[in-house]
Amino acid sequence: METLMTTDLSEEVVNRIAAGEIVQRPANALKELIENSLDAKATNIVITVKAGGLKYLQIQDNGSGIRYEDLEIVCERFTTSKLCTYDDLKDINTYGFRGEALASISHIAHLTILTKTATSKCAFKASYEDGKLKGPVKPCAGNIGTQITVEDLFYNVIARKKALRSPTEEYAHILDVVGGYAIHNSHVGFTLKKFGETTDMKTPVQSSVVENVRIIHGNNIARELMEIELKVPLLKLILKGYITNVNYSHKKGTMLLFINHRLVDSQAIRRAVDSIYSTYLPKNAHPFVYLSLELDPRNVDVNVHPTKHEVQFLYEEQIIENIKTCIEGKLLSCNSTRVMYTQARLPGATAVDEMVKKTTEAVKVYANNMVRANSDVQKIDKFFHAAPKPTEKDNKYDISVMVPKDFTKADRIPEDNNKNILPQIVVSVADNDNICNKTVNKIHDVTIVENYGNTSTGVNVNKEPNNADLNKSMVEEPPEKSPPKWKPHTAPKHANLNYIDPKESFKNRTFNYERVETKLTSIKQLRLDIENKCSVNLREILANLIFIACIDCNKSLIQHSTKLYLCDSTRLTEELFYETILYDFQNMGLIKLSNPLPLEELFLLGLSSQESEWNSELGDMKEMAQQMTEMLASKRSMLQEYFSLEISEQGELVSLPLLLDGHTPFLGALPTYVVRLVTEVNWESEKECFDTFSRQTAIFYSQPNPDPTKEIQMQEYRTQEHVIFPAIRKYFLPPSSFVSNGAILQIANLNDLYKVFERC
């Protein structure tokens, strides 16, 4: 008989076995890290994943951070700040309490922590292995909060790594975990993306449960949600949640259960909910259910499993019975609104015709509830008279500059100009309300080129346009050009007016080309500011607007549902371009000039337009123009890399950024624009520099052409209808300030108008 010897396991083996119980897959590790961020009062959490979290898993928050004194022991087992004695478990109100998460991760992966508290002067970075520091803690730059990076998960547990099926499946588990916590913690902004790729999920800060469900699971679920609430003082139970009505069902279904704000799984509650819905839904169909239970912590045992995914609580049968009663009562109250689906009739089933006729006659849609769905039907433009063909008397200008595609407007030289000089162009300088015309020498043969990689299209300006062709372009649709090598997906000229989910924006645009993902914190903060200031109600209106008509170059009418709105289109366009610059940072196309424009002459032209306000103490205007040229030319590398604004070594303007396909800025405002780049942009601070540069560029690009001629005005209107407003509809994130500053005003409501007409 063989005798078995017993030996004590080494600490390394014990820790690795324990780590395998806590971290079963990347989603478990991420769940622990998310809960730590929430315990630290973070309001924004960014998660980056590579290979399903096996190669790379990073979470960054803006919470309270980790003190420098705690970094040495933070990855040791049973190290926690959440409790001190076992009795503290009775009143535990934090996610973490075991002190094993970071320790377990460090035993089976390479762990790095970068953290900064509000009181520390700098951030600190530390790397860990097997619960111990690998080297000294290093001071470095960083934001307030904590960034934890987990690399090569299960690198020393080969059997566990091979047991995991695929990175795609692991990423799906991660998506479920992040989605669940984002819905429950709607006040916290969550971002989930794959390493080096576009963002897969992003929820705004201070959102709502329904809005986050719409972002994560789609509008089909969000529009069918019903809110439930229940309070049972005897059981110390508070229930809040959302469930789908009987119109929605899915083969798989989704159930999110939070007990005392902890994501858990309870088979008993799941079976109880399914038993209720089985009466209303087809066989093997399941609902979407989100339940948040708040129980007395003394009645809940969270220390059931190391993953904390399972809990046990007292009075389970009574609590489940109350939940069933609440859900069933809610479903019974909504059963009258159930949508019934009928089978398509077979050929020759004539008996159905009479039934359909009776049904349709009984349902009458009143005129005050009708909403126009196609903006091309009965447009206001139908009542405008066609622009008359220009005569020789009217055509007193020669076209000197032309813009690409179907745009044929340019600045013109008056015939009565008696100066006999080289070929000239007239540049209209617009400085707020002050518009004047100045002549620039030696700037000629200007062609504007839209550059997409190696593909470019342009129009030579030396050719005199035919008046008949010019008039024809105002009536016919512009010809479609061949697709460029790369360009953003923008709305077509006749945009599909189906419902657009308001969550669609710059944040989740898709592109046909590989984008450069910026790593600058300042740009990310500016983008976050835009998202935090976004008005959800205005986004809903603009995301599903129907364009009506342009009143003038600065005002437009749009419709949403049965309401009519007056828009300050210039202000909307400015904000759209401001957001475009920040979200397309380092990824903008080019509007290239065939002959570069001397910056010094542009500065001189811009300064001379303000000659009446010129202060003699500033010195000679020409010297000032030279200094401005040198200053802006010194920034040319940065301007070209970040904003596609190219300046040659000779101090000449070579190209401008292309912000929106089909839109070209009014070149008459170019001199004032370059002056403002020197005087209004804060070149000292990185964030302020990008912010003010983007704002001044947006102001320049949003200025309409002030030429009062009919052709130019109609061209401006076409640009707004077919280029600007489709982009606003799809991408624009309107700031909350637009609600009160008059940028968008409701001027009519169809239902109210009908009430007035009925009284008449």
21: left (phi over 0), alpha (psi -120 to 50) or beta: alpha
691/650 Cα distance (integer angstroms): 27
**Is the pLDDT at 272 greater than 70, yes or no?**
yes
Q: Which of 32-41, 350-359, 535-544 has the lowest mean pLDDT?
A: 350-359
The answer to whether residue 459 scores a pLDDT higher than 80 is no
* Highest mean pLDDT of the ranges 22-31, 131-140, 482-491: 131-140
The answer to whether residue 203 scores a pLDDT higher than 90 is yes
pLDDT of residue 175: 93
Query: 466 with 705: CB under 8 angstroms?
Result: no
Instruction: Give strand ranges (E) for 493-584.
Output: 546-550, 555-560, 563-568
Q: Model confidence at 477, in pLDDT bands (50, 70, 90)?
A: very low
Q: What per-residue confidence (pLDDT) applies to 560?
A: 87
Closest CA to 288 of 218, 341, 229: 218
pLDDT at 466 over 80: no
Residues 6+ positions from 404 with CB-CB distance below 8 Å = 448, 449, 450, 457, 458, 459, 664
Contact 702, 577 (CB under 8 A): yes
Neighbouring residues of 237: CB distance < 8 A, sequence distance ≥ 6: 230, 231, 293, 294, 295, 319, 322
Query: Taking 70 as the threshold, does the pLDDT of residue 471 lie above it?
Result: no
- Residue 553's pLDDT is 86
Could you give phi then psi for residue 273, rounded to 5 degrees? -65, -45
Q: Please tell me which residue, 196 or 700, carries the higher pLDDT value.
A: 700
State the angle between helix axes of 316-334 and 267-277 in degrees (0 to 180), rounded to the nearest 10: 30
Q: What is the pLDDT of residue 438?
A: 38
Alpha helices by DSSP H, listed for 11-68, are 11-22, 26-39
Under the banding of pLDDT at 50, 70 and 90, the label for residue 305 is low
Q: Tell whether the model's pLDDT for residue 407 goes beyond 50.
A: no
Residue 399: pLDDT band with limits 50, 70, 90: very low
pLDDT of 409 strictly over 50: no
pLDDT at 423: 30
What's the CA gap between 716 and 721, in Å, rounded? 9
Of the ranges 294-298, 374-378, 458-462, 578-582, the best mean pLDDT one? 578-582
* pTM tops 0.85, yes or no: no
Q: Which of 48-57, 375-384, 659-668 has the largest mean confidence?
A: 48-57
- Choose between 709 and 338: higher pLDDT: 709
- d(CA 746, CA 742) in angstroms, rounded, equals 10
Which of 5-14, 16-25, 389-398, 424-433 has the least mean pLDDT?
Answer: 424-433
Q: Residue 639's closest CA among 559, 696, 573?
A: 696
Better-scored residue on pLDDT, 629 or 397: 629
Is residue 115 over pLDDT 90? yes
Dihedral over Cα of 70, 71, 77, 80: its sign: positive
Q: Among the listed ranges 446-460, 688-702, 711-725, which one has the minimum average pLDDT value?
A: 446-460
Over range 656-664, report the average pLDDT: 88
Distance CA 20, CA 191 (A): 27
* Two tokens, residue 480: 């479609």
**pLDDT of 597-623, one tens digit each?**
899 998 888 888 776 666 666 677 888
Distance in angstroms (rounded) separating the CA atoms of residues 625 and 8: 82
Task: Indicate the SS3 state at residue 168.
Answer: helix
How confident is the model at residue 45, as a pLDDT? Answer: 96
> Quick check: 447 pLDDT over 50?
no
pLDDT score at 312: 78
pLDDT at residue number 98 = 54
The distance from CA 28 to its chain's CA centroid, rounded to whole angstroms, is 28
State the average pLDDT over residues 241-252.
89
pLDDT band per the 50, 70, 90 thresholds, residue 490: very low
Q: What is the pLDDT of residue 536?
A: 87
Encoded tokens for 386: 């066609």
Q: pLDDT tens across 38-58, in order?
A: 989 999 999 999 999 999 999
pLDDT over 90 at 180, yes or no: yes
Counting other chains too, the contacts that 310-316 makes at CB distance below 8 Å and 24 or more residues apart are 310/264, 310/265, 310/266, 311/259, 311/262, 311/264, 311/266, 313/259, 315/235, 316/268
Whether the pLDDT of residue 594 is over 90: the answer is: no
**Intra-chain end-to-end CA distance of the chain, in Å:** 109
